[in-house]
Structure 1
């Protein structure tokens, strides 16, 4: 009798489990139908509680399954659908901002503008300007990013225009200052740009008086910046295609390096400026340490592993050169620092570095400090030849 009871109990548990699974699967299918309905009716008034009720689920259960299927909440999904529709209408029709707001499901233009800016990062009007084929954009960073996307800005500072790897692409671009932080405001005003790109808030308030200004933070991986700029310009597909082509070049460069470059060898990247007895050591050099997976010297590797807020470079005393020297050394020397660098080369510290003894030091120009997509690709193509030779 005990054995029969156990068998009956197990059958009952199995039946309950099967019933629960069946109910859960039914709930999932109901939420999937709800998502399909939202995709068609996002411009209509949609009530979250009513959507859950139509699925015969509690709002909490509905939200949980919705997140499981889409990764976001029902309300964020609705907003995302409405904003996506608004972006299409803004760039493919001649309708007013108010008409776009209504057709996208927003209650009024003010709500539309505020929601659009919160989710896209710019106002609807600026979004239209940036997506126009005749858009006039001035940049105080991100020149290489725009050029990689097939867009030519109307103005940029001399520092960016003179970069070796973009120089052949900048004909017709007006010089609007000497560096990325020293703008020529009068010349910029005369250009009458539709929009201005800056970084880390530099001169943001002044630029805003001339044209709508986009501030893209610099403290993020270079390709993240690239993709963000592309998203603001509606060029996400072009950015993805460019990054994929770059990845193909990375694979080729890795194969080339493996033929004559030992996997355990380390590579350091330094910069000598016009400061006596100092040099900059780079802790973060994405093309070297991330793309090509080359090894930094142990001191740099240790710092990269242990410090969460590691700066991309730090100034060091020349006495510390042995600590940060790799088996191969890539050394950028500023044109203003050549005499100071020659003094360093005459010293015993430099002469006793293993890479110097082995003839594995490559001197580079400041063109190697540029980190835009086009410069990064140019450096990648040169690097394997420089190291293996």
Structure 2
């Protein structure tokens, strides 16, 4: 499949208009004509170099070298001193669908392939087609004309098919080289064009390949790397903010501060103070995350403290002050070094007490939040260690669960509240069951997860429960009388009784711990999964 086809479901058409075979004597040059909207150049024999006006350096030009150019490309090909350089130039038009109509095409001068250069390692078949095209290019026989158009399509197909495989390997190598370049030169001015030139790729294609390999755009990566280096300097030195900004590539310290806060959640000044002071946080959402990192908050949200004491039975939780957002004086008396929250309005309310960091709840999953908080407190190694032990626990639990629930059987998750029902996806209750243990959701949930990989939950009416029917049903009921009454009424409905999981006796009731979404609760859920299924086996 060609580069452009991956982007456009209605691919363009390519119409060969003419060609020539050029033989350059040693030390002679050839300038690319600007008469054709599009040109394909294929090196056949000899060596030389390609020099384009928009590239600071020339590129080697040898057998198998391929270049795509447009009428706006200003470039020359020069032969080395030792031998004649021969190459083919194919001039063609590109016809693209007009206005989204698949059967109506018009010439396009703006079309470009994702990669405008290739180096074919086995170009012999391309040379055969090129010479055949050359032999018949003057023929007026309609069949010969048609055959040449077919040959040109074959030539393009071979270049894109074999070239894309080679380009993938070569591009990955180029990305690694530019990563090294970024790490060595992040304090200097770095533009997308600079980085693409380092890789020998067009900026558009370089961005696409970089994002595929690294997970973010080149400029996003440069920013992240600079911020990481800034965090090290702020933790480990007492350099002034202006000096830190300059050392990581920012001339304007105020712009640096804005970018830092966007990425980290607090300003560089606050980050430095938190890193160099005794850690004494107050938190209104991330209590269990801090505890997983070995950081005991001096105060935390009242219901979270109660949950850790009663449900998770964390002994250290007895020393944490249970707080309400409506008691700022009590928070102030604890003299926190920082306040963590998920609610943006808390920042204005609490910033006079201590630096306040807002981490929006839906911006990341449990591991993303854990790593972010660990980074804030300089505890990244502890976060990675926790994740590693958690993955080992997941593998152990999965081996047991796979013996209880066959892979072909589906699993639905239902949350019952006083007046609402929710079918869950991959957050909260669904994280362990769907993400960790890789159980199969019902079709409706699968489709929602495909559209949104972090899909949380969908409200469901009683009469819609059958649409989420599965071989197994994991049910979580809120711990209040109205929710329990709602569940009892639900189980008496005829459509409930017809659910496959109910008829098979494969309904599993989940405890309170399953509704929480934090590191400590995920570990507890894995432990309980084994107990629940073991109990189900025995019943």
TM-score (structure 1 length as normaliser): 0.76
Q: Which residue of 2 aligns with 1:340?
A: 486
Deviation at 1:310, TM superposition (A): 8.1
* CA distance 1:35–1:230, change in 2 (3 Å): closer
SS in 2 for 1:203: helix
Give, in whole Å, the separation in 2 of the partners of 1:320 and 1:190: 51
Q: Give CA deviations for 1:32-53 in whole Å, capped at 9, x if unaligned.
A: 999879867766xx4669xx7x
Deviation at 1:372, TM superposition (A): 0.3
* CA distance 1:326–1:202, change in 2 (3 Å): farther
Deviation at 1:84, TM superposition (A): 4.2
Q: Which residue of 1 aligns with 2:317?
A: 170
**Structure showing greater relative contact order (alpha-carbon pairs closer than 8 Å, 6 or more residues apart):** 1
Query: Which of these residues, 496, 510, 519, is aligned with residue 373 of structure 1?
Result: 519
Q: Which residue of 2 aligns with 1:16?
A: 47
Give, in whole Å, the separation in 2 of the partners of 1:42 and 1:310: 33
Q: Which residue of 1 aligns with 2:356?
A: 213
Q: Which residue of 1 aligns with 2:533?
A: 387
Give, in whole Å, the separation in 2 of the partners of 1:300 and 1:121: 33
Give, in whole Å, the separation in 2 of the partners of 1:33 and 1:309: 32
Aligned residues: 369
* Conservation of the 8 A alpha-carbon contact between 2:266 and 2:356: no
* Conservation of the 8 A alpha-carbon contact between 1:331 and 1:364: yes
* Conservation of the 8 A alpha-carbon contact between 2:189 and 2:249: no
TM-score (structure 2 length as normaliser): 0.57
Q: How does 1:19-168 map to 2 (within 5 A)?
A: 19-20=60-61, 46=188, 83-97=227-241, 100-101=244-245, 107=251, 109-110=253-254, 112-132=256-276, 134-163=278-307, 164-165=311-312, 167-168=314-315
Q: Which residue of 1 aligns with 2:342?
A: 199
* Conservation of the 8 A alpha-carbon contact between 2:444 and 2:467: yes
Deviation at 1:91, TM superposition (A): 1.6
Q: Which residue of 2 aligns with 1:290?
A: 435
Q: Which residue of 2 aligns with 1:304?
A: 449
Give, in whole Å, the separation in 2 of the partners of 1:372 and 1:166: 15
* Conservation of the 8 A alpha-carbon contact between 1:48 and 1:59: no
Confirm whether residue 280 of structure 1 aligns to residue 427 of structure 2: no
Q: Which residue of 2 aligns with 1:259?
A: 403
Which has more strand, going by share of residues?
2
Q: Give CA deviations for 1:20-74 in whole Å, capped at 9, x if unaligned.
A: 379999xxx9x9999879867766xx4669xx7xxxx989969969988997999
Deviation at 1:319, TM superposition (A): 2.5
Confirm whether residue 235 of structure 1 aligns to residue 379 of structure 2: yes
Q: Which ranges in structure 2 are unaligned for 5 or more consecutive residues?
A: 1-20, 26-42, 50-59, 66-116, 120-172
Deviation at 1:240, TM superposition (A): 2.1
Q: Give CA deviations for 1:197-238 in whole Å, capped at 9, x if unaligned.
A: 121525332233432222212223332222222233333332
* Conservation of the 8 A alpha-carbon contact between 2:178 and 2:198: no
* CA distance 1:63–1:74, change in 2 (3 Å): farther
Give, in whole Å, the separation in 2 of the partners of 1:151 and 1:14: 67
Deviation at 1:269, TM superposition (A): 1.5
Which has more helix, going by share of residues?
1
Give, in whole Å, the separation in 2 of the partners of 1:203 and 1:37: 41
Give, in whole Å, the separation in 2 of the partners of 1:130 and 1:259: 48
* Conservation of the 8 A alpha-carbon contact between 2:284 and 2:341: yes
Q: Which residue of 1 aligns with 2:475?
A: 331
* Conservation of the 8 A alpha-carbon contact between 2:265 and 2:358: no
Give, in whole Å, the separation in 2 of the partners of 1:300 and 1:271: 14
* CA distance 1:257–1:62, change in 2 (3 Å): closer
Deviation at 1:297, TM superposition (A): 2.0
Q: Give CA deviations for 1:358-381 in whole Å, capped at 9, x if unaligned.
A: 332222232210010110111012
* Larger CA deviation: 71-80 vs 231-240: 71-80
* Larger CA deviation: 294-303 vs 367-376: 294-303
Deviation at 1:309, TM superposition (A): 8.9
